[in-house]
Amino acid sequence: MAAGSPDAVRPVAAMPAVPPPRTGGPVPGAAPDVPRGDLWEIPFAAEDLYELRRLVAGWAARETMPEEAADDLVLSVHELATNSVRHGGGVGMLRLWRTVEALVCEVQDAGRLSDPSIGSEQPGDAAAESRGLWIARQLCDLVEIGTGPAGTLVRLHKRFV
Amino acid sequence: MGATEQLHIDLRQESDRVIVKLEGELDMANAPLLQSSIESPDLSGTKTVVLDLQGLTFLDSTGLRIILAAREQCWRRGQEFAVTPGSQQVQRLLSVTGVGEHLRTIATADEVLV
């Protein structure tokens, strides 16, 4: 749950395009396509959502995230990617990296959120409700949102414990 | 992998109900498949519509929206609407969205509604 971690809303310009440098290089024997400690960039479109879920699930498993936490992260990333496909110009960019205590997933697209606090209140049970960001806010430890003329960037943090 | 390979929808009629059995993953890509199944005339003549989610391994907010739209459509036709519990992921989604407590849930698709 997001309890204890207030959602941060910052302009895109204030968010670094790449994560801060970290100590230590790739772990020997780690999967070559997911170098630990490095930034991983995956462009996506509507037809890629299924593969995107597999990819995030596989990455989280290799990073030894517990299964239930990994499921939460997969759904959250999927919801953000779906928003990009539907509202953000049809395509987006997913970036993945890990820190010592969390997996971080960032979704960027060309859309602009009219209200960055969207998804802060629990939706009702009418079909028409939007639930994507509410779901991400519930399932991740921290959700950062930046939006402006340059586009929208949402960053999810899911802690290992 | 195409959207149609990720989701299998099976409609079968049993006494007072139509059971719509979903297997696989329901997301934005294949939600229209469920949408068109729900609109099938086969669904309109029975007392009850049951959405059997037992074989559903993944559900997202778009799929949930279609499920709720199906429920609203059944209610408009005067039909009962119920679901069976899905996988852990499905139940988690229903729980965090708060929708689970508003959905009539039965243990198995042929359970009698009272």
User: What's the predicted TM-score (pTM) here?
Assistant: 0.84
Instruction: Record the tokens describing residue A20, joined without a space.
Output: 């801060």
A132 lies within 8 A of chain B by CB: yes
Q: Which of A50, A68, A129 sits opposite B1 (nearest CB)?
A: A50
CA distance A81 to A89: 11
The mean pLDDT value for A6-31 works out to 42
* Statement: residue A8 has pLDDT above 70: no
pLDDT digits (tens, 9 = 90+) for A28-55: 444 433 345 678 899 999 999 999 999 9
CA distance B7 to B58: 10
Of residues A3 and B47, more confidence is placed in: B47
Min Cα distance B56 → chain A (Å) is: 14
Residue located via tokens 């849930």: B105
Nearest to A157 by CA among A117, A91, A97: A97
Residues A75/A81/A85/A89 CA torsion (nearest 10 deg): 160
Min Cα distance A54 → chain B (Å) is: 12
* Interacting residues of B54 by C-beta distance below 8 A, sequence separation 6+: B21, B84, B85, B86, B109
CB contact under 8 A, B1 and A51: yes
* Interacting residues of A54 by C-beta distance below 8 A, sequence separation 6+: none
Residue A116: what pLDDT? Answer: 85
pLDDT along chain B (114 residues), means of 10: 75 94 95 91 90 96 96 94 95 96 94 83
A121 lies within 8 A of chain B by CB: no
